Amino acid sequence: MAVYLTEEGYKKLMDDLAELESQRPMISKQIAEARDKGDLSENAEYDAAKEAQGLLELKISQLKSTIAQARLIDESRISTDEVQILNKVKLRNKKNNQEITYMLVSESEANLREGKIAVTTPIGKGLLGKKKGESVCISVPAGVLEFEIIDITI
């Protein structure tokens, strides 16, 4: 399954991968130091270092898999005619008249604090393909939300 990323998101993944890979020598050193302390069957430091190494390698493997499946989104081809990935969508909650703006991004770039929601979330799926001025009802775990799309920008 392809993972759609912005250039910024792809760069962040590559930076994260480089950071994780730079930790390998440190963990190898910890394993060597623990091994030098003697009996491995009762060596908690050795077990902890091996577990840390396993977790690090798992994270590196997952990141490499995501990067291998990455498809960069050509931001110059994004339209504001209807909601699509990388659009900023200004919404009005019809129940309380509160306005909120979300940017639709891939799962790996989602960050609610930054107002970035994944297109795979219920709200993301409910907004895709809709136009400015449309009302949408979206089922979320807490119930049904009704929004009016006020604006679509890049």
The verdict on 98 and 84 lying in the same domain is yes
pTM of the model: 0.64
The verdict on 66 and 102 lying in the same domain is no
Query: Residue 9 belongs to what domain range?
Result: 3-72
Q: Residue 125: pLDDT above 70?
A: yes
Tell me the two tokens of residue 21: 């890979």
User: In the listed set 37, 72, 107, which residue is the last one of a domain according to the structure?
Assistant: 72
The verdict on 61 and 80 lying in the same domain is no
The verdict on 67 and 97 lying in the same domain is no
Tell me the two tokens of residue 26: 């440190």
pLDDT tens digits along 6-33: 888 889 999 999 999 999 999 999 888 8
Residue 97: CA count within 13 A, CB half-sphere: 0
User: In the listed set 22, 49, 72, which residue is the last one of a domain according to the structure?
Assistant: 72
What is the reported pLDDT for 34? 83
CATH number of 80's domain: 3.10.50.30
User: In the listed set 51, 72, 93, which residue is the last one of a domain according to the structure?
Assistant: 72
Tell me the two tokens of residue 18: 């480089």
Total domains present in the chain: 2
pLDDT, mean of residues 116-136: 93
